[in-house]
Structure 1
Amino acid sequence: MKKTIFFLAALTAALTFASCDKNNGNNGGDTGTEVSIEATKTGQWHYFSFAQNQELGVADDSDTSWKERTDWDIAINKYSIRTNSGDSTTSGQGGVYTCEAGVTFASLTAVPAGATFEADKTVTETGMGGETTTTKSTATVIQFQLDANGDKVMPPVYLPSPVYIFRSADGSKHYKVSFTQYQGIGADGATVSGRVKFTYAEL
């Protein structure tokens, strides 16, 4: 009887350890870490580090000091995203790979062979406020439903973005990211855009 009890206890401990080990691994197979970013103000970028799991600071679009820094991996301004790459940096080696439709956060366990990472570019866009020029990634927190002419449906209809793989600023690590929220409820009960949530895990 004592041997049976000891065996069951040992088996339970082994299973518990195996479960914890799986959840704490960095092979992309865990449930990930959830992050909330209050990027509700247009023109302000929130800079985030995956390695440190924290927001490093907030800066206006005109603040170029962050181009010199390599401690941030992504930045968020409402639905726009920056990676520490291309025109957003002087030396960063970040970038983004957009996963194919049908790829889920859970199913993605490694960087696909031959994956090409896109760098940030400076773009000029025309909107209700006229022309604006900014530097950003092709990745976005959400996507917009388009009409037959390729224009945004108005009022906007938000669609989920695909799963992304972001390369770290130093180019040594890769993180899968799923954006799960763009809008939240404010203190007055109204819907607020830019209350971003995402889940990430190292691959």
Structure 2
Amino acid sequence: MLEEAAPNWRALRIHESSPANRGISVILARDCPGYVGSHYFPDHERGASVNGWRNEDIECQTFADAEFDLVVSLDVMEHVFNPEAAFKEIFRTLKPGGYYVCTFPIQRSQVQALGVRASISGGHITHHKEPEYHGNPINHEGALVTVDYGYSIHQLIAEWVPFEVRISRFSDREHGILGEYTEVVVCQKPGRPPPMSMRSQWVRRALRTVLKRLFG
């Protein structure tokens, strides 16, 4: 599947934020020399190596400008306190024409693009809704859900940064992809496009790759 998505992916510079220990994260780390996986360890120096991972705060990264061809995050953006800062940093670290592929829950009953569940100030977290936690690959206590995203989030992303934004929703009985939270978000940074071998088929097949990673 990965070969179909981007035949030259092994030669790309790829950053994955908060990778899991399964699926496409394992394949990328094993076979792509230009792959960098990062987690955030707030008690350690940003940019350092911690337990084999690059220590990066997705809202304030230490990577250089235009360093990556592709950035990936799967079910991460609902756990950041400042999504606008995170998207701006991802945009900054992408090369012109590069892609950001991500997933996060989108509430179909929520009209507003963004609903704050928790905020932080001076290191103190304030809960605006009942706390909700998801699984966390580096912390058994889980990851706090800080934001609820709504139907118009694609418009807000494009206001934050000049990404071209596409959200695809899926209903695929054959692969058991049904119900809510099947969205895949693909953002492209304007500029020089990737090689032709990556372009039109890349986006479609990348979505299938991400779905396989999420749903098995």
Q: Which has the higher helix share?
A: 2
TM-score normalised over the length of structure 1: 0.29
More strand by proportion, 1 or 2? 1
Query: Which structure has the bigger radius of gyration?
Result: 1
TM-score by length of 2: 0.28
